[in-house]
Amino acid sequence: MPESIQDDAPAGAETIVIPAIAGLMPDGKIPSRMVEECRLALESANDRLARSGLSLYGVTHLVCLVRDMDGYRQCGALIAEALGPARPVVTLRVVPSLPREGQRLAFTVRVARG
């Protein structure tokens, strides 16, 4: 579990963490626009949570790794809309690089279930 995600789930709750979620197009490429990369990463996170019967509405901690703060500012409204009523702790880190060439952001989500 990344250091930035602490286990503060209620007693008896299971914690689910999905790390390093990238926003990739169906062909595995990174979109040319960061806002599209952000949208795809949020969709991927929600799809992965859905496999456990969860959604982004239950996120308690969102970690955003970004290479470019200016580009990331475009993502704020998308993130707020995707999280719906959730009001998670958000950790934002500017990093010099990410795993894929040209990747500009990655999310890690944490959800407490139970």
Closest CA to 107 of 53, 48, 33, 29: 48
71-93: per-residue pLDDT in tens? 888 899 999 999 999 999 999 99
Please state the pTM of the whole predicted model.
Answer: 0.86
Strand 14-21 relative to strand 59-66: parallel, antiparallel, unpaired?
unpaired
> Does the residue 5 lie in any domain?
no
Which domain CATH number covers 62? 3.30.1330.40
Domain span at residue 101 reads: 14-113
> Does the residue 6 lie in any domain?
no
CB neighbours of residue 61 within 10 Å: 22
Task: Report how many domains make up the chain.
Answer: 1
> Does the residue 93 lie in any domain?
yes
> Does the residue 1 lie in any domain?
no
pLDDT, average across residues 48-70: 93
pLDDT(112) > 70? yes
User: In this structure, are residues 67 and 105 in contact, taking their beta carbons and an 8 Å threshold?
Assistant: yes
